[in-house]
């Protein structure tokens, strides 16, 4: 996996993908530049939206509850193959889908300008409506990285996604509403002490936070973080948080002392996400980095399938 700050450095230089908001695509997809479509998968598209756009989903398996995955920032989710192993395991027991947000993968480009949380959630609601039709039922929501923030924001009382009840949620190394401001401050303080090993990452983080055009989906990250912060959270809905392994190295360029500080901050923020549900639990991977779906698919699929089984046991 490409590490967090190396990715930030690349983003600052005009390359693709950043942070623990973003994750590496599988080597096969990166090397070949070709879609990685799991065997047995089907491609589905929404009806044209009000502005004529259409969104694309990739689905596998049959049955209920539906599992819908919200991918990381900038990922062409239906084509990258990063969720193939997880989806294959889940599809043996129920229907699982992942979709491309506006302007990624096979979905239509978004209108010009920053993408607001409301626009993102309206698109998610359109995908849910397309997948469920008139038979709306509780589903299992999965969010990776920035997808976790989107799921948090989707719990707001006025969110268009509230029509579709979440039966359980799994957040996979989720972003946190405070991560940008905390990490920029942490790296600034290190630089003030003479440790400038994180300066490239600090500059890129600050730019991404301040300017939507500096991320691949033009998401208004400040507005999304604020929406996630204001939302009531998952309440009594079962919530599982999965995080990367303790030994995962965020950035080899960081000094050992600064790397330890960043890792401690990341762990603290993951612990803080437990506040988003009264029935929340946190598990750490034994070996995976930020792209847990590709690096520890057994952990991710296992957590999701536990919720699938629990939903089916409910009266």
What's the whole-number mean pLDDT along residues 218-239? 97
Residue with tokens 């996630």: 228
Structure tokens at 265: 């901050």
Torsion of CA 282, 220, 198, 181, to 10 degrees: -70
Residue 162 lies in a domain: yes
- Tell me the pLDDT band of 251, cut-offs 50, 70 and 90: confident
Does residue 41 sit within a domain?
no
Candidates 141, 204, 199; CA nearest to 167 is 141
Q: Is residue 15 part of a domain?
A: yes
Rounded to 5 degrees, what are φ and ψ at 101?
-70, 165
Predicted pLDDT at 161: 96
How much of the chain exceeds pLDDT 90, in percent?
83
Are the C-beta atoms of residues 85 and 301 closer than 8 Å to each other? yes
Q: How sure is the predictor about 26, in pLDDT bands with cuts at 50, 70 and 90?
A: very low
What pLDDT does 298 receive?
98
Query: For position 167, what pLDDT does the model report?
Result: 98
The pTM for the full model equals 0.91
Q: Is the pLDDT of residue 6 over 70?
A: no
Residues 14-20: contacts with CB within 8 Å, 24+ apart? 16/74, 16/216, 17/73, 17/74, 17/216, 18/73, 18/74, 18/204, 18/208, 18/215, 19/73, 19/205, 19/208, 20/145, 20/173, 20/175, 20/179, 20/250, 20/266, 20/290
| pLDDT-wise least confident of 8-17, 245-254, 255-264 | 8-17
Residue reference for tokens 């997808």? 147
The answer to whether the CB of 72 falls within 8 A of the CB of 147 is yes
Inside any domain, residue 40: no
- Residue 232 falls within a domain, yes or no? yes
Number of other residues whose CB lies within 10 A of the CB of residue 33: 8
More confident residue, 55 or 33: 55
Rounded alpha-carbon distances, angstroms, from residue 29 to 5, 11, 81 = 22, 19, 7
pLDDT of res. 181: 96
Instruction: Provide the pLDDT confidence category of residue 33 given band limits of 50, 70 and 90.
Output: low
Domain assignment present for residue 109? The answer is yes
Q: Which two tokens stand for residue 66?
A: 């539906």
Q: Which of 156, 170, 125 is nearest to 227 (CA)?
A: 156
Q: Is the pLDDT of residue 283 over 50?
A: yes
Q: Which two tokens stand for residue 274?
A: 């437990």
Q: Which residue has the tokens 């983080």?
A: 205
Residue 257, domain extent: 4-33+47-313
**pLDDT tens figures, 150-179:** 999 999 999 999 999 999 999 999 999 999
- The mean pLDDT value for 15-29 works out to 37
Residue 196's Cβ-count burial label (10 Å; 0-12, 13-18, 19+) is middle
- For the chain, what is the domain count? 1
Asked if 258 and 195 touch (Cβ cutoff 8 Å), the reply is: yes
pLDDT of residue 25: 44
pLDDT at 288: 96
Distance CA(18)–CA(11), nearest Å, equals: 6
Q: What pLDDT is stored for residue 252 in this prediction? A: 82
Query: Considering the domain boundaries, does residue 42 fall inside one?
Result: no
Helix, strand, coil shares of the chain, percent, nearest 5, are: 45, 15, 45
- pLDDT of 29 reads 44
Read off the CATH number of the domain in which 108 is found. Answer: 3.40.50.1820
Nearest residue to 105 via CA among 216, 14, 212: 216
Residue 39, in any domain of the structure:
no
């Amino acid at each position: 996996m490409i590490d967090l700050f190396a990715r930030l450095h690349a983003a600052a230089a005009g390359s693709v993908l950043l942070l623990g908001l973003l994750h590496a695509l599988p080597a096969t997809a990166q090397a070949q530049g070709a879609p990685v479509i799991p065997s047995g998968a089907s491609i589905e598209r929404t009806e044209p939206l009000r502005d004529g756009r259409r969104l694309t989903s990739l689905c596998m398996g049959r049955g209920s509850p539906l599992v819908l995955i919200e991918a990381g920032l900038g990922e062409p989710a239906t084509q990258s193959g990063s969720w193939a192993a997880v989806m294959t395991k889940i599809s043996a027991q129920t229907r699982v889908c992942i979709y491309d947000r506006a302007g990624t993968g096979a979905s239509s480009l978004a209108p010009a300008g920053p993408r607001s949380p409301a626009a993102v959630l309206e698109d998610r609601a359109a995908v849910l409506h397309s997948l469920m039709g008139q038979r709306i039922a509780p589903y299992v929501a999965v969010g990776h990285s920035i997808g976790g923030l989107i799921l948090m924001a989707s719990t707001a009382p006025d969110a268009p996604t509230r029509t579709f009840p979440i039966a359980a949620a799994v957040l996979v190394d989720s972003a946190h509403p405070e991560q940008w401001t905390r990490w920029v401050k942490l790296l600034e303080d290190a630089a003030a002490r003479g440790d400038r090993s994180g300066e490239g990452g600090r500059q890129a983080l600050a730019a991404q936070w301040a300017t939507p055009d500096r991320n691949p989906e033009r998401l208004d990250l400040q507005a999304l973080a604020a929406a996630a912060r204001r939302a009531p959270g998952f309440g009594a809905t079962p919530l599982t948080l999965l995080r990367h392994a303790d030994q995962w190295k965020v950035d080899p360029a960081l000094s050992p002392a600064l790397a330890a500080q960043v890792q401690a901050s990341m762990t603290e923020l993951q612990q803080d996400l437990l506040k988003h549900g009264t029935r929340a639990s946190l598990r750490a991977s034994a070996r995976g980095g930020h792209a847990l779906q590709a690096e520890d698919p057994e952990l991710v699929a296992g957590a999701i399938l536990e919720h699938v089984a629990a939903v089916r046991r409910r009266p």
